[in-house]
A and B are shown apart, each in its own frame.
Chain A
Amino acid sequence: GENVEQHPSTLSVQEGDSAVIKCTYSDSASNYFPWYKQELGKGPQLIIDIRSNVGEKKDQRIAVTLNKTAKHFSLHITETQPEDSAVYFCAASRYNFNKFYFGSGTKLNVKP
């Protein structure tokens, strides 16, 4: 089965700085990679996703890059704000298998 590893487990940045979270996956057949943000007491909320036919995707201050050869993908948050503080999860899946395999999460703390 798929194994997704995520690091760092905690990340502390100053407001306005950039944050980068990295994930690796083991199954070369995985082709869909979503990122979720989870705030305390809430369910995960999708913030961005990328499919394997694309190397990079941007949405305002958030971007995701994918390197299929190396089997790793990263989340980049620029101009961080205190409201970005949360736990972020990466995940990997295959279209026809549906279930997501999640990383262990990164707790991001943005200091004002």
Chain B
Amino acid sequence: GAGVSQSPRYKVAKRGQDVALRCDPISGHVSLFWYQQALGQGPEFLTYFQNEAQLDKSGLPSDRFFAERPEGSVSTLKIQRTQQEDSAVYLCASSLSGGARKETQYFGPGTRLLVL
């Protein structure tokens, strides 16, 4: 079946611009995660949704980062007034649910953001 998809795959922004990154999770997956991956590093958690509820946003680096999942399926990560340090790959993952046996996260291909 279809996996997690993300768009755009690449985004170049000028410093100060706003960007919006989209994630389409696997159909039926309750949980959705956003991670940020800097070059040569492992992914770092940003935020987590269960259906439309944002249950954990402890990883968002500043109030310029905002995520939503209004209907419990597609999610958008928005970064306002982008800075050069925002340059990274933004990964989206989904899972059936939290809890034992359903916690496996499936990742999308990521959006590579470059802020000039």
A-chain residues with CB within 8 Å of residue B95 when the two chains form the complex: 98
B98 touching A102 by the CB < 8 A rule? Answer: no
Partner of A36, one of B41, B55, B107, B109: B107
**Is residue B104 within 8 Å, beta carbon to beta carbon, of the partner chain?**
yes
Give the interface size class of chain B: 20 to 34
**Chain A CB within 8 A of B100 CB:** yes
Question: Are B99 and A100 in contact, CB atoms less than 8 angstroms apart?
Answer: no
- Among B45, B48, B103, B107, chain A packs the most CB atoms within 10 A around the CB of B103
- Given known A-B contacts A89-B42, A105-B40, A49 and B91 have beta carbons under 8 A apart: no
Checking A41, A42, A98 against B33 with a beta-carbon cut-off of 8 angstroms, the contacting residue is A98
B4 touches A93 (CB 8 A): no
The smallest C-beta distance from A97 to any residue of chain B, in angstroms, reads 8
| From B43, B44, B100, contact of A44 by CB (8 A) | B43
Tell me whether B110 is interfacial, beta carbon within 8 Å.
Answer: yes
Please report which residues of chain A, range 36-91, place their CB below 8 angstroms from some CB of chain B when the two chains form the complex. 36, 41-46, 49, 51, 89, 91
Does B106 count as interface, using CB distance less than 8 angstroms? Answer: yes
Interface residues of B in 35-75 (CB under 8 A from A): 35, 40-45, 48, 55-56, 59
The residue in B31, B45, B56, B105 that gathers the most chain A C-beta atoms within 10 A of its C-beta is B105
Whether A99 touches B56, Cβ cut-off 8 Å, given contacts A43-B109, A44-B91, A105-B40, is: yes
Q: Which of B41, B42, B99 is the most central at the interface, judged by chain A CB atoms within 10 Å of its CB?
A: B42
User: Is residue B25 contacting chain A, with contact meaning CB distance below 8 A?
Assistant: no
Tell me the bound Cα distance from A51 to B104 in angstroms: 11
The reply to whether B103 and A98 contact each other, CB–CB distance below 8 Å, is yes
Instruction: Find chain B residues with CB under 8 A from A89 CB.
Output: 42-43
Contact A98 B100 (CB under 8 A): no
Q: Which residues of A contact B59 (CB under 8 A)?
A: 99
B100 touches A51 (CB 8 A): yes
The chain B residue with its CB closest to the CB of A44 is B107
Chain A: residues with CB nearer than 8 A to chain B? 4, 6, 32, 34, 36, 41-46, 49, 51, 89, 91, 93, 95-105
Shortest 5 CB-CB contacts between residues of A and residues of B: A102-B42, A43-B107, A99-B45, A98-B98, A43-B109
